[in-house]
């Protein structure tokens, strides 16, 4: 492997930013050289800026402690030293849309965890195992932005990761009506039990904007490119959801009911799940799970404590697939929300973008 690509993390002090920092320690292809955050953190060392707000299970990596945090709004100053950036900035949606475009216009690719650009029609929203073909729209986005190298790519919401891969694996059976309830960990809100003690022994039946994302984002992931824009799937697949915050640190669980146009057998469904793999597996990307979806036959799986870290938090665990009295089939899925569902998913996307030539040395 030639020289590593230099990367910056925008919003490096928040929970997703911390996850990026942790995942980038000793990355074989990428070297973290710049951390950027709000003006309040700028000028401090990373260790000082984070203070007692370090939320990862492992200690802060030594290599980042003395890096001086840059002001994320000082776009030219951040962009000059990096080949691309990960974005986990914490601003209003309008501000995020604007600043991510500013970075792209400095010819710096942006791989974003934020939702702000998910519905920009020429911005690919990719789960690399499912729809890497959507990266082709980057050439149209570059025309709009007037760039030759810079672009924005995003990943979809964490809440969809425990069931969208199943629907992808089962597309030939034509899933139609899907009813989902998600049970979402508190790290999805950037919190631990220390800073959200109200969640101990509690359930909150509302997560702002989450149900719309859970219902609509899979349709863009399953969409196609038409005239330089991604058009969402319109084949009769409809998803309805309820999203609930539960007292779990990491791991979003989903209970799912599905009707199909062509009802498959249980054996067919399981066979499709366990054999589902994509370009990340074929290319052997550093953060690609070897087995993307595991199926557990025990009646009490998936369990957060036993399964959330499957394949380093990048795999999905499915269980309890059984016939339903109203729908065709029902099952339970689990995905790690800050790994597969956030920083890990964005990192796998960046690895894919490098492997297929969209992110290169400046």
Chain residues binding ligand LTNE7NMQ by CB under 6 A are 157-159, 184, 188-189, 207, 210, 337, 341-342
- Which of these, 51, 47, 49, 56, lies nearest to 15 by C-alpha position? 56
- Write out the two tokens for 182: 């998600």
Nearer of residues 5 and 96 to ligand LTNE7NMQ, judged by Cβ? 96
Least separation in angstroms between residue 243's CB and ligand LTNE7NMQ is 8
Nearer of residues 13 and 182 to ligand LTNE7NMQ, judged by Cβ? 182
Nearer of residues 244 and 356 to ligand LTNE7NMQ, judged by Cβ? 244
C-alpha to C-alpha distance for 258 and 240, rounded to whole angstroms: 11
C-alpha to C-alpha distance for 172 and 1, rounded to whole angstroms: 39
C-alpha to C-alpha distance for 308 and 302, rounded to whole angstroms: 8
Least separation in angstroms between residue 98's CB and ligand LTNE7NMQ is 21
Least separation in angstroms between residue 128's CB and ligand LTNE7NMQ is 18
Q: Is 166 a catalytic residue?
A: no
Nearer of residues 294 and 337 to ligand LTNE7NMQ, judged by Cβ? 337
Q: Please identify which of the residues 117, 158, 166, 287 carries the catalytic annotation.
A: 158
Nearer of residues 69 and 243 to ligand LTNE7NMQ, judged by Cβ? 243
Least separation in angstroms between residue 246's CB and ligand LTNE7NMQ is 10
C-alpha to C-alpha distance for 243 and 76, rounded to whole angstroms: 39
Least separation in angstroms between residue 155's CB and ligand LTNE7NMQ is 11
Least separation in angstroms between residue 52's CB and ligand LTNE7NMQ is 22
- Output the residue with the shortest Cβ distance to ligand LTNE7NMQ: 188
Least separation in angstroms between residue 342's CB and ligand LTNE7NMQ is 6
C-alpha to C-alpha distance for 297 and 218, rounded to whole angstroms: 26
First to last CA, the chain: 17
Nearer of residues 108 and 157 to ligand LTNE7NMQ, judged by Cβ? 157
Q: Please identify which of the residues 117, 134, 166, 252 carries the catalytic annotation.
A: 252
**SS3 per-residue string spanning the chain:** CCCCEEEEEECCCCHHHHHHHHHHCCCCCEEEEEEEECCCCCCCEHHHHHCCCCCCCCCCCHHHHCCECEECCCHHHHHCCCCEEEECCCCCHHHHHHHHHHHHHCCCCEEECCCCCCCCCCCCECCCCCCHHHHHHHHHHHHHHCCCCCCEEECCCHHHCCCHHHHHHCHHHCEEEEEEEEEECHHHHCCCCCCCHHHCCCCECCCCCHHHHHHHHHHHHCCEEECCEEECCCCCCEEEEEEEECCCCCCEEEEEEEEECCCCCHHHHHHHHHCCCCHHHHHCCCCCCCCCEEEECCCCCCCHHHHCCHHHHCCEEEEEEEECCCCCEEEEEEECCCHHHHHHHHHHHHHHHHHCCCCCCC
Nearer of residues 278 and 341 to ligand LTNE7NMQ, judged by Cβ? 341
Q: Which positions are annotated as active-site residues? A: 158, 252
């Amino acid at each position: 492997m030639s020289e590593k690509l230099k990367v910056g993390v925008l919003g490096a002090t928040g929970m997703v930013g911390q996850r990026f920092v942790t995942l980038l320690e000793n990355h074989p292809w990428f070297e973290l050289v710049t951390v950027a955050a709000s003006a309040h953190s700028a000028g401090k060392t990373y260790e000082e800026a984070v203070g007692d707000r370090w939320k990862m299970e492992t200690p802060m990596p030594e290599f980042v402690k003395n890096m001086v945090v840059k002001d994320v709004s000082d776009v030219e100053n951040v962009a000059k030293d990096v080949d691309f950036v990960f974005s986990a900035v914490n601003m209003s949606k309008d501000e995020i849309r604007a600043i991510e475009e500013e970075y792209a216009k400095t010819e710096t690719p942006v791989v974003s965890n934020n939702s702000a650009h998910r519905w920009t029609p020429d911005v690919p929203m990719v789960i690399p195992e499912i729809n890497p073909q959507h990266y082709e729209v980057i050439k149209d986005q570059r025309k709009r932005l007037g760039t030759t190298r810079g672009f924005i790519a995003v990943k979809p919401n964490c809440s969809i990761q425990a069931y969208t891969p199943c629907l992808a694996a089962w597309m030939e059976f034509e899933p139609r009506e899907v009813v989902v309830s998600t049970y979402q960990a508190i790290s999805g809100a950037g919190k631990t039990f220390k800073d959200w003690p109200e969640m101990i022994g509690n359930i909150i039946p509302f997560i702002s904007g989450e149900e719309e994302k859970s219902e609509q984002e899979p349709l863009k992931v399953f969409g196609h490119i038409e005239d330089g824009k991604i058009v969402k799937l319109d084949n009769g697949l409809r998803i309805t959801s309820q999203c609930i915050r539960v007292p779990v640190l990491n791991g979003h669980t989903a209970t799912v009911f599905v009707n199909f146009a062509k009802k498959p057998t249980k054996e067919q469904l399981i066979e499709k799940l366990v054999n589902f793999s994509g370009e990340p597996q074929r290319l052997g990307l550093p953060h690609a799970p070897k087995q993307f979806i595991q199926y557990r036959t025990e009646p009490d799986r998936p369990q957060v404590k036993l399964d959330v870290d499957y394949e380093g938090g990048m795999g999905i665990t499915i269980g309890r697939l059984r016939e339903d009295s109203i729908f065709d089939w029902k099952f339970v899925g689990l995905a790690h929300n800050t790994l597969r569902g956030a920083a890990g998913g964005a990192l796998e996307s960046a690895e894919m973008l490098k492997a297929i030539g969209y992110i290169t040395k400046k």
